[in-house]
Structure formats: C-alpha cells, structure tokens
Chains A and B, each alone.
Chain A
Amino acid sequence: MSCCTLGAGLPAESDNLALDEEVRLASRLIGRDTYQTDLSVPDIHCGACIQTIEKALSRLEGVEQARVNLSTKRVSIRWRDATQPPALIETLRGLGYKCHLDDPDLEEKDGTSSELLRALAVSGFASSNIMLLSVSIWSGADSETRDLFHWLSAFIALPALAYSGRVFFRSAWESLRHGRTNMDVPISIGVLLAFGMSLYDTVHHGHHAYFDASISLLFFLLIGRTLDHMMREKARVAVKGLARLSARGALVVQDDGSRLYLPVAEIQPDMTIWLSAGERVPVDARVEEGSSDIDVSLVSGEGAPQAVSTGSVLQAGTLNLTGPLTITALAAAKDSFLAEMVRLMEAAESGRMGYRRVADRAASLYAPVVHLAGFLSFVGWMIATGDVHRAVTIAVAVLIITCPCALGLAVPMVQVVAARRLFENGIMVKDGSAMERLAEIDAVVFDKTGTLTSGHATLANSHEIDPGYLAIAAAMATRSRHPYSRALAAACDTPVPIRRIDELPGLGVEALVGDATYRLGRREWAVSESDQDAIRDNLGTVLSKDGALLAAFRFDDTLRAGAREAVASLRELGLPMEIVSGDRYAAVERTAADLRISDLRAGVLPGDKTRRVAELTQAGRRVLMVGDGLNDAPALTAAHASMAPGSAADIGRNAADFVFLRDGLEAVPLAIGISRQARLLVRQNFGLAIAYNAVALPVAILGYVTPLVAAFAMSLSSILVVANALRLKGDTKRAHDSRRNIAGVMTIASEGNA
C-alpha cells in the first residue's frame, strides 16, 4: 500500500536532549517505573502501518508494549524507566511517520461516552424484556398473570431507571437548581411519574402499568444522546491530533555553562535560553547573541519573516527559522504574549454567553404547557368524577403521551446527521450549539495571513528572471529553512553544481559556484556598497555574483485554495465581509482587491480585533470570525460563531467552534449552508412534534390512552423525527478521499513546525 511510504527519512531537526525531555514531560507514570506515552501519528492509514510501527517500537529497549489505535491515529507506548526514554520519535521519523506528543494534561479519560454506552445497554436490556412481558398483558393475560408480570416489570425497571436515568436526572437537577428548565426536566418528571404511578397500580392490582413506556422512552433518548456524544468525540479527537510538538520547555544555560531542560512554566526572567533553529520562542525574550529570521505570522499576522540580531525583542510563540540564538527571558511564561492572549480571550465578552440552545428554549415554552395540561386534566377529572385514582392516571397518561420523546430527539438527531456531513467534508464541529449559532450569522470577518491566504510564500516574479540565475538561486535555496528559500527551491529544480555553501543566519546563503561567490539573501548584504542605491521597492531578496546584482525576487502570499469561490458564494448569500489583519496595509489591500472585498483594516492589534467584533455585535450583527493566528484567538472567542483552519495555532483552534482540515476555504460557505439546512430541519421536527401533540393530547385528556397506545404513539413519533433528520443532504461527492486530504493538511501543518 502506497500510503505507507510518505516522506521517508526525515532528518531529526530538534536537539536530541530536548526531545528526550519532551517525551518525559509528556509521559505519565502508570505503575512502578512504567510510563505511558501517547503519540499522535496522523499518517497511519492501514494494517501495514500498524504492523510496521508496532514492530519497530517494540524492538526498542525498554519498551514493554506499543499499541496503535487506527481510529484515533495514535500510538500508546508503555516503557520502563531507564536512564532515558526510548527513542520513540526518532524511530517513527526514521520510518517516515510524522508524530506529535499528546499532552498528558488533556489526556484525562473522558468517561462520558462509556457511561452513556453502559446506560444505553442497560435501558435496552430492560426495555426489551419489559416489552416482552407487556405484549402478553396487552394480549389479554388474566389478572393473576398480569399482576405477576407487572411485578416482574417493576423489578427490571427500577434498577434500569436508577442506572440509565441518572444522565437525565442529573442534568435536570442541575438546571432546576439554577432556576432554569431544559429538555431534561419534563423528561425526568414524565419518566418518574410514570414509574411511580405504575408502581402504585401494581401494588393495587391495577389494569394498566406504564413501565414499558418509561423505560423505552429512556432508551430512545439515550440513543440520540449517545450518537450525539460519539460524533462530537470523534471531531474532538481529530482536532486534538493536530496539536503540535509545541515548546513544553527550553534549554536553559546554567551559570556553569551547562544546559538544563526546564519546563516553560519554570522559566524565570533573566534566564539565558539556547534556542536552536526550528524552535518556537518559549517566553518573551531579548536576543543576546546570534542572528536569525523569525516567523511571526501566527503571532502578529505579518506574512514576511523578520530578521533579528543582538538586542531584538522576541514575542513568545514566534518561530526561529534559520540560525541558533542565545536569548534572555524578559518575562515568565505567565506574563508572556501567549498568556496575554489567554487573558484577552477570557476578558472578551464571549459571543456564546447569552446563547441558549434551541432545545432548551423550546423546553422552557413546552414544559409549562405540558405540565399545565396534565394538572388541568387532573382537576377536570376530579370535578367530573371525584375519582382521585382515575384523575391521577389520566394526568400521568397526558404527561407520558406528550413527554418530549420526539422533541428530545428532534434536535440531536438533526445535529448528528449534520455533524456527520460536515465531518465527511473535513469540517470538525465542537458542539451542537455551534451549528445553531452559525446558522444565525449575518456578517463575516476574515483574518488575512493563513486564513484567506495559504500562509506560504511563493515566488511572484519568476517570469522576469533569467532561468539560469533562477536555477542557481533555487539550488542555493534548498539549503535553507527560510520560507522564501523554500518558495525559491520550489520554483525551479534544475541541478547546479555547487562547490561550497554556507547559510548566514539573518542574512542569507553564500555559495561557491565555479570560481564566483554567489550570495542569495538580503539586498544590503548581498550587493556591495556602490550598488546600494538601486531600485528600492518590494524587491528585498536578491541574488548577487561577487557583489553585483543579478536578480531580485518578489514573494507573494498566495490565496488559499478556494478563497475566491468561498467569497463569491458568501456574497451570494448576502453576507457582508471584511478583512481585519495584523499585516501591513499594502499586503492586506492586495488580498482584498484580489477577492473584491472592500472593507479592510490593516495593522490591527489583537485587542482591536476583538473590539472590532464587539463593535459589530453592538451594531446588531451576528459575526462569524474566521482566523488562524494567536492574535485572532480573542476575536474568535468574542464572535457569535468562529472557524479556524487546521493549520491554525493551537490556541486559536481551541477557541474556534469549527475547524476545517482541508485546504480549501469553501469549508466556510459549506458549513454555513449545512447549518442553515439543519436549522430548517430542526424547525420541521418541532413542527412534527407539535402536530403529533395536537392530535395526542385531546385523546390523552379524554382518558383513552392505554399503555399500548402510548408505546405505539411514542415509537411512531420518534421514527418520524429521525427519518426527517436523515433527509439532510450535504455535498459528499468528495467524501471518499477525505482521509487523504486530512492527512495532507496535517502534514503541511506540522512541516513548518517540526
């Protein structure tokens, strides 16, 4: 299978000592001297991958067991503590798999899904057995048999209700305690009353018992809830798999000159840190020694890398590209840029705060009506007949028949189907309320770098450059990690014999070709003094031969795939759009002109992005924020709904409601379309449920509802609602290659940060 031969033999770029320490920090102790490490390996695709990885890792010294999970694309490794952790990451890299360490803090096992599954199993068992007994009662069992069967049903129902019902009772109690109602309140009341009255009737040899109704109601609702949870869990795991090998620590230079690996939280101001090329800056710091280029795109939104040298101040989260640096920490991690962003996010008035789920809003209208109807029919029958037992029976029958089985399923079923459609298209949704909010939005705010644009520089003026010079430049560029070098290297692949080549961090690349010295890099450095006055526009990167200018290169951040189509279809939907970017005005204007978006703001600080979103919100708009950087995170929180690409900074991805893993920006209109369709179906389902109640309620109030009728009506309405939810259509024609594309994006996302 060809999928197992991806990018073989990548060089291990990080410092080995640092890597070992990273592994140790990300491991957890699970027994005496035994550690468990979880690695996320997005490239696992098939059985052969499983075998290759497990065999290779098991052979390592100290490894007790290595187990691949294909569903979550992770490997968990148990190893005994030796002097150092086994070379897990190096081994996987050697096999050609990229991997990321999973954060142990986020690894707390989520018990909800197994609790739901167990509750579902218990209620399924109980409802099927009670149904069997009920069928014989409905077929006219004599009174002694009926009593016996009622007792048997009660004995099965009681533990099942106590076990499976907890899910609903807990949530209902929580919401009542805070003085609100949600869907679980009428469900809990209906189920408990039905059970209580049936028990009473069983004791008093009554004709009717509703054990089957109360347990199968739980069973139906738990199906919906379990599916809903599993869908979200799947999305969550997929998003979590994107977590980078981010800086958990840094090499701190001690007084005696030795280097010690410290976790980020322990780094104090004035400590000296050794930062190699390819690492992220752990805390705000000042450069003491060395020069390099810094990629700030995730932090400030500025696309072009910045040269730094002694004295420059670096922000936490920026990426060191070309040369090693010695830096002095200026602030502890809790006072750094990243922490500042987290504070801004917390301060930002969350767009979600005031939002109440559709189902809860429906419940707050529905519950009083139903309970009032139950109460009135009790009073009515009391006045009419004076028979307390009869009145109570009918009141409970009213509650059971109207108990929102259909309503309880109406929303989750639609959202499960919608989330599935989104998932097939590479869009992960965090929860159902996000979908409801997205359907409501009426304005879109875009970030530029990394969102509208791909975030990768490409050579813009290759047609103006002599192919011979381009070949030399491209050959030289292959030696550097600078984004512009990568763009150059990608532009041409004619081999050129090079005798000697050096990279000078912060300046460029110098090479000896034949007898001439070529320089590729910053104009001031590559071109000798006399030529300095040459055209000074955007052409900052040049190729020179012995100090004489040969060619100047211009780089552009290309538009993200599908950006034009996405903007066009959003315009068709009539949504006003604007760009709010931290980049320079000229760059933002170019992108805006390309996409024909007239509303733009450039050079915006993170706090002002949030303010802009808040302004729009105050003007009555419901804003969708689409962004990827650290600087977008507070705005993502503040917006009514938010989306981030899979390549976004961890913090931004966590703040966003939706994460799209494919490259294309079409995900934005697609997600809006599916959300709106889902909203329509939810409304239809509510309509169906109300229509059903309008028919069933009079029948119940008149006292014609037997347990048989109740069971029928309940199943029928649930099936109707589920069938309606399944009508949701999505664009699934490309679903079959989704796995490939997701893996592709993950690879791209991790490449720049490995």
Chain B
Amino acid sequence: MTDYFYLIPIAIALGAIALASFMWSLKSGQYDDLAGAAVRITLDDDDVPQKPDNL
C-alpha cells in the first residue's frame, strides 16, 4: 500500500495544473465572449483574444 504513496503528490499536482490553467484561461479573457469564440473559428484570420486592460 505504502509503495503507491508516490501517486498522491502526482494526483494532486495534476489537479493543481488543471486549476492553474483554468485560472490562466480566465485571466487571459477566454471566457469573455463564448458566443464569439464559436463563430470566430470560421474566420480565416489568425487572432487571439483581447487581454482585459490592466487599469
């Protein structure tokens, strides 16, 4: 049983990575325009979401 304890930090780290990437995506404005993201995929230009301004 104790031999598998090394799995625990791995599991928690994986969760933490998922949490961090969610936070990053939230901060970089990827949820600001969900409807727009759905149709922008049909546009040809490369584009990136607008960063919320840091006032």
Binding site for B on A (CB under 8 A): 30, 36, 46-47, 50-51, 65, 67-72, 76, 109, 114, 117-118, 121-122, 125, 128-129, 132-133, 145, 152, 156
Contact = CB atoms under 8 A, between A and B. Distances in A.
Contacts of B12: 129, 152, 156
Interface in B1-55: 1-2, 8, 11-12, 15-16, 18-19, 22-23, 26, 31-36, 39-40, 42-43, 45, 50, 52-53, 55
Given A121-B23, A156-B12, A145 B40 contact: no
Nearest to B22: A121
Nearest to A117: B26
17 contacts: A36-B53, A47-B40, A50-B39, A65-B50, A70-B33, A70-B36, A70-B39, A71-B33, A71-B35, A117-B26, A118-B26, A121-B23, A121-B26, A125-B15, A128-B15, A129-B11, A145-B2
B36 A68 contact: yes
Given A121-B23, A125-B15, A156-B12, A50 B43 contact: yes
Query: What is the interface of chain B mostly: helix, strand, loop, or mixed?
Result: helix
A92 B11 CA distance: 52
A160 to B, nearest CB: 10
B39 A72 contact: no
B30 to A, nearest CB: 12
Contacts of B1: 145
A536 to B, nearest CB: 57
B8 A70 contact: no
Contacts of A117: 26, 31
B53 A69 contact: no
Contact of A46 (B2, B15, B22, B39): B39
Contacts of A129: 11-12, 15
B55 A30 contact: yes
Contacts of B2: 145
A121 B20 CA distance: 9
A71 to B, nearest CB: 4
Contacts of A47: 39-40, 42-43
B4 to A, nearest CB: 11
B33 A132 contact: no
A339 B46 CA distance: 49
Contacts of A128: 15
- Of residues A36, A70, A128, A145, which shows the largest number of chain B Cβ atoms within 10 Å of its Cβ? A70
B50 A76 contact: yes
A114 B22 CA distance: 12
A156 B55 CA distance: 33
A519 B52 CA distance: 57
Given A65-B50, A109-B52, A145-B1, A50 B11 contact: no
Contacts of A145: 1-2
Contact of A71 (B22, B34, B42): B34
A128 B13 CA distance: 13
Instruction: Report the 10 A-B pairs with minimum CB-CB distance, sorted nearest first.
Output: A70-B36, A47-B39, A67-B50, A71-B35, A69-B33, A125-B19, A70-B35, A71-B33, A47-B42, A30-B53
A67 B48 CA distance: 10
Interface of B: 1-2, 8, 11-12, 15-16, 18-19, 22-23, 26, 31-36, 39-40, 42-43, 45, 50, 52-53, 55
Contacts of B52: 109
Nearest to A46: B39
Contacts of A46: 39
- Of residues A46, A51, A76, A145, which shows the largest number of chain B Cβ atoms within 10 Å of its Cβ? A51
Contacts of B26: 114, 117-118, 121
Nearest to A144: B2
A109 B53 CA distance: 10
A122 B33 CA distance: 22
B16 A125 contact: yes
Contacts of A70: 33, 35-36, 39
A161 B18 CA distance: 19
Nearest to B16: A125
Contact of A50 (B16, B22, B36, B55): B36
- Of residues B2, B31, B32, B33, which shows the largest number of chain A Cβ atoms within 10 Å of its Cβ? B33
Contacts of B31: 117
Contact of A152 (B8, B15, B35): B8
A118 B16 contact: no
Given A72-B33, A76-B50, A51 B43 contact: yes
A72 B33 CA distance: 7
Given A69-B32, A125-B15, 12 more contacts: A30-B55, A46-B39, A50-B39, A50-B43, A70-B35, A109-B52, A118-B23, A121-B22, A129-B11, A133-B8, A145-B2, A152-B8
A132 B53 contact: no
Nearest to B14: A129
B47 to A, nearest CB: 9
A65 B49 CA distance: 11
A27 to B, nearest CB: 13
Contacts of B23: 118, 121
B46 to A, nearest CB: 13
A109 B22 CA distance: 20
Contacts of A65: 50
Nearest to A121: B22
A218 to B, nearest CB: 15
A226 to B, nearest CB: 12
Nearest to B45: A51
A42 to B, nearest CB: 14
A50 B40 contact: yes
A542 to B, nearest CB: 51
A67 B50 CA distance: 7
A643 to B, nearest CB: 27
A128 to B, nearest CB: 7
Contacts of A121: 19, 22-23, 26
Contact of A122 (B11, B19, B42, B55): B19
A76 B51 CA distance: 12
A51 B44 CA distance: 9
Nearest to B12: A129
B28 to A, nearest CB: 12
A121 B27 CA distance: 13
A69 B8 contact: no
Given A30-B53, A69-B32, A71-B36, A132 B11 contact: yes
A90 B35 CA distance: 26
Nearest to A156: B12
A39 B27 CA distance: 23
A212 to B, nearest CB: 15
A128 B19 CA distance: 12
Contact of B36 (A69, A109, A132): A69
- Of residues B8, B36, B43, B45, which shows the largest number of chain A Cβ atoms within 10 Å of its Cβ? B36
Contacts of A76: 50
B18 to A, nearest CB: 7
Contacts of B18: 125
A708 B42 CA distance: 49
Contacts of B50: 65, 67, 76
Contacts of B19: 121-122, 125
